[in-house]
Amino acid sequence: MVGLMLMSSVSVIGRSLPQILGILGLRLTPRSIPGDIEIVQLGCAVAIFSFLPYCQLMRSNVFVAFFTQGLRIRYRSLFDLFANGLFLLLACAIAWELGHGTADKLANHDTTMVLRVPESWAYVPALLAASLLVAVTAYTVARSVREIFLDRAVGPQPSGEH
């Protein structure tokens, strides 16, 4: 992500700086990185899918603990079980659809417009990360069940106790 940010910044500066310096009478040719938007789109998609399993495992996904903060772990884990169950369904749907999209991109040899980079280069790692998300989310469902029966946290502390 830092590399994408730096590349995007260099490209924007390369396009804008000649216009800014033109006010001072300097004549520079605007230069940008060809396909910078494509690179950022593909890179961000892979990065986001790559971080989701880790965030889910560490209980770092968006969570509103305002109403459950004072509850015992057993009762908080009931809410977590419900949320993790819903997220598991969503993760399965995302992985399923991403699988269809990946197969389509591979079959049609789709490429980006400027750089002609195969779009499957982003779809395949995103699909692998989405599949890992399904496995991690299934684990978090089981972890919530275990916490309900043990009435204690298993793994990272529940939200609100960081």
Tens of pLDDT, residues 114-145: 999 999 999 999 999 999 999 999 999 999 99
Query: What confidence tens digit (pLDDT) does each residue in 12-55 have?
Result: 998 888 888 887 788 888 888 999 999 999 999 999 999 999 99
pTM value is: 0.84
Distance of alpha carbon 60 from alpha carbon 53, whole angstroms: 10
Q: Which residues pair with 60 in a beta bridge?
A: none
Distance of alpha carbon 31 from alpha carbon 113, whole angstroms: 19
Distance of alpha carbon 32 from alpha carbon 14, whole angstroms: 5
Q: Which own/partner contact pairs does 26-30 have at CB distance under 8 Å and 24+ positions apart?
A: none
Q: Which residues, 6+ apart, have CB-to-CB distance to 112 below 8 Å?
A: 35, 38, 42, 119
